[in-house]
Amino acid sequence: MHQRMLLLVSLCLAVAAPAFAQQVDLPKLSPNAKVTQTVGLTDISVEYSSPGAKGRKIWGTVVPYDKLWRAGANSVTKVSFSRDVKIDGKPVPAGTYAFFAIPGASSWTLILNKDLTQPGTGSGYKQELDVLRVTAKPQAVAMRERLAYEVIDFDDFHATLALGWEKVLVGMPIQVDTDAQVQAALTALSNDGWRVWNSAARYQLESKKDYVAGLALVEKSLQMKEDWLNLWTKAQLLAAQGKQKEAYPLALRANELGQKSPMFYFAADVKKALAEWKSK
């Protein structure tokens, strides 16, 4: 009888063992997060873990004032730049950095550090490995339950990397040298590919409003091939300088060639311009 009981228990354990070995996926207390934004030609990325407020007072309590904080949970927060940038006017080479903060009631210190191997608790932090430190003013904002990073207020040349949690938002100003990067790409171009030169001209037209530089670029495009698109670009550049009389025949020629193209996606704009410029 005793042996039968032992055998029965063994069989029950054998059947139950797989059930005990199974695992259930549950939401993490501080889930992983990543945000990437292209600013001009530069990708700005942040990898972090996002803790929740959960009814707690965060600033000055959960996150003490005037002490180093890993600016996230679980492990070190990482900030990456695909190209060289400037932060608060200070040069920062392209790469990935550990991000720390020292929060204060009225002023924060934001830190980029070279050491990505540290645990993120501050125990392995070495100030001599800082790439830079910048001072930032916290702003009062609406309640945000979870810590989140985002790139805000950006255009082709500037951005702010913002950290928001509970009722505080703090930002780090970033400048990207898009002009120099575009110029370097243009300088490296070989004299082929009319579309590339036209795209560069349209960048000057639409983003930089530098019509003289745009005309020089579109002329290179036209020397390679005359297309409705680069003719229209030149017409727009001239019209932007108030030279509608010179722009009109170019728009007329662009319309003629465009009518033969299945990709005449500026057709309505050209038609409108022809009506407006004819009497100029």
| Structural domain span for residue 142 | 32-176
Q: Is residue 20 part of a domain?
A: no
Co-location of 165 and 198 in the same domain: no
**What digits encode the pLDDT tens for the residues 132-164?**
999 999 999 999 999 999 999 999 999 999 999
- Work out how many domains the chain is built from and give that number: 2
User: Would you place residue 187 in the very low, low, confident or very high pLDDT band (cuts 50, 70, 90)?
Assistant: confident
81, 94 Cβ separation under 8 angstroms: yes
* DSSP letters spanning 206-250: III--HHHHHHHHHHHHHH---HHHHHHHHHHHHHTT-HHHHHHH
Q: Which two tokens stand for residue 184?
A: 């370097």
Residue 189 has pLDDT above 80, yes or no: no
Quote the pLDDT of residue 177.
95
Last residue of a domain, one of 119, 149, 176: 176
pTM of the model: 0.72
Co-location of 39 and 104 in the same domain: yes
Co-location of 103 and 202 in the same domain: no
Q: Is 165 left (phi over 0), alpha (psi -120 to 50) or beta?
A: beta
Q: Is residue 8 part of a domain?
A: no
Co-location of 150 and 112 in the same domain: yes
Co-location of 272 and 160 in the same domain: no
User: Would you place residue 28 in the very low, low, confident or very high pLDDT band (cuts 50, 70, 90)?
Assistant: confident
Co-location of 91 and 160 in the same domain: yes
Co-location of 195 and 161 in the same domain: no
The CATH number that applies at residue 238 is: 1.25.40
Classify 277 as helix, strand or coil. helix
Amino acid at 150: E
Co-location of 149 and 51 in the same domain: yes
- With 0-12 CB in 10 A as exposed, 13-18 as middle and 19+ as buried, what is 233? buried
Last residue of a domain, one of 151, 176, 201: 176
